[in-house]
Amino acid sequence: MTTRARRAIGGPLALLLLAADPHWAGAQTGGTVRPQARPDRVSTADLTTWVGEFRMRALAAGIDAATFERALSDVRRLPDVIRRDRSQTEFTKTIWDYLDAAVSELRVSNGRRAIERHRDALIAIEDRYGVPKEIVAAIWGLESSYGAFRGDIPTLSALATLAADSRRGAFFEEQLLAALRILQDGETTPAAMRGSWAGAMGHTQFMPASYLEHAVDFDGDGRRDIWGDAPLDALASAAAYLAANGWTKGQPWGVEVILPDGFDYRLTGERVEKVPSDWAALGVRSATGGALPEGGPASIRVPAGHEGAAFLTFANFRVLEAYNTADAYVIGVGHLADRLAGAPPLASGWPRGDRALTHGERIELQERLRAAGFDPLKIDARIGPDTLDAIQRWQQAEGLVPDGYVDPDLLDRLRSR
C-alpha cells in the first residue's frame, strides 16, 4: 500500500496477521508490532465528540460539509471492532496452520472454478498488468474466499471507532478521510461501503487510501466498484496495485527447493541473494525436479527452519509483501497460485509438534538475545531481518543450525544460558 500502514484483517480465515499491506491494520504470523492493550475508553459520547472535532479537520482537508453529514451523521461506535482489534495481541499461528487453511483443497478447487468463471477477464487483466491470473485469483481467494466473504461491517463506523480509539488513531483517521473522498467522488454510497472490521473493503480487501491510489474501473462502467458482486474491478485493482509496487512480468514469486546436506544456513534469509545458477552450484535443487527457474537474484527462506520446507524467492516475493509483509501470507498466495495452475502440494513437511511463540515470548526472546550480545536492534516482538540475523548469529555461536527458526526450544535454550 502507498502508506505501508499496518492493518487488521477481518477476513474469512479470521487470520490475525500483523502486516503492512493495503488492507490489514492488524497483527501477524511470525511477529507483530502490538502496543499494550489498554482499557476500552471510547464511549458513544466520546465518539460524538470526536466526530465533531474530526469534522473541522475533514473540511480543512477538502471534504465538503454535505458529504461529511451524509457519511457520518449516523455513524456509530462498534464495540466489537475495538474488541477484535485488542484481541489480536497474543494470537499467532504457525505457518503450517496458516497454510492448511489458506491453501486447503476446498480453496484450491473453488479457485480453479473461479478462474474458469472469469477466465477472459483474468487473462485481460494479466495482459494489462503483467500479473498472472493465478496470483490475482490467489489474492482474491485469501482475502475474501473469491468474493464469498467480503465483510458486512459498515466501514465508516468501523473506521470512526478505530480513529477515535487513539492507539492507532492517526492511521485510521487517514483511512476515514480517504473513505470520505471516495464518497465525495461518487464512487459508492455510505450504505454500500462495507467490509472487514478494520476497514478493508471488497473482493480484494482494499483500505480506502489504497483504493484512492490504485483502484481501477476495469469493466468501463465509469465507477471503480470493488464492493459489488461483480469482481472485475477489484481483481484488476489488485493487479494494478502489484504492478505499481514493481511486479516483474514473467518472474516467479518463488519455488520450493530442497537444500543439500551440510548446507550453510547462514545463507538463508532475505539479505543473501544469488542468481539461481549460483544456488544450484551450492546444491540447491527444485523440489519438483528440473532446473531452478530463472528470475534474477533470489533468496532462500526457511520459515520453519531446517526441519521445514525451503523456498527460493525472487523479487516478486517482495512485491507481494506490499499486500501483507508476513512470510506466511506471501507463501500462501504464491503456493495457492501454483496449486491453481496445477502444481502439486508442497513436497516437504513441517515441524508440526512445535507451537508459535506468544507476543510476550517474542519480546523476551529479543531481550535475551540483546543481553547475550546478539542485538536484534528493536524489541518489538517482530521476527524481522534484524532479529533473524541476531538469532542466526547466536545459533552459530552456540553450535546450533543457524536457520533463524523461532520456537519454544530456542527460547528455552536462551533462558538456560
Q: Which residues bind Ca ion (CB under 5 A)?
A: 217, 219, 221, 223, 225, 233
Closest to Ca ion by CB, 128 or 370: 128
Minimal distance, residue 223 CB to Ca ion, in Å: 5
d(CA 236, CA 234): 5
Minimal distance, residue 193 CB to Ca ion, in Å: 16
Closest to Ca ion by CB, 70 or 223: 223
d(CA 63, CA 65): 7
- Tell me which residue has its CB nearest to Ca ion: 217
Closest to Ca ion by CB, 182 or 410: 182
Closest to Ca ion by CB, 138 or 236: 236
Give the strands of the sheet with 299-301, arranged side by side: 285-286, 254-258, 310-313, 299-301
Closest to Ca ion by CB, 19 or 234: 234
Minimal distance, residue 139 CB to Ca ion, in Å: 19
d(CA 163, CA 183): 18
Task: Evaluate whether 126 touches 239 at the Cβ level (below 8 Å).
Answer: yes
Nearest by Cα to 254 from 200, 327, 323, 306: 327
Minimal distance, residue 221 CB to Ca ion, in Å: 4
Is 70 exposed, middle or buried, given 0-12, 13-18 or 19+ CB atoms closer than 10 A? Answer: middle
Nearest by Cα to 197 from 92, 86, 88, 84: 84
Q: Which amino acid is at 190?
A: P
Minimal distance, residue 234 CB to Ca ion, in Å: 10
| Strands 254-258 and 310-313, sheet pairing | antiparallel
d(CA 378, CA 384): 9
Task: Evaluate whether 232 touches 137 at the Cβ level (below 8 Å).
Answer: no
Cell numbers linked to 248? 516483474
Closest to Ca ion by CB, 27 or 236: 236
CB atoms within 10 A of CB 310: 24
Minimal distance, residue 217 CB to Ca ion, in Å: 4
Minimal distance, residue 204 CB to Ca ion, in Å: 14
d(CA 301, CA 292): 15
Closest to Ca ion by CB, 151 or 231: 231
Q: 113 Cβ partners below 8 Å, 6+ apart? A: none
Minimal distance, residue 203 CB to Ca ion, in Å: 12
Cell numbers linked to 93? 499461528
Closest to Ca ion by CB, 225 or 327: 225
Closest to Ca ion by CB, 147 or 308: 147
d(CA 238, CA 232): 10
Question: Count of alpha carbons within 13 Å of 30, Cβ hemisphere only?
Answer: 23
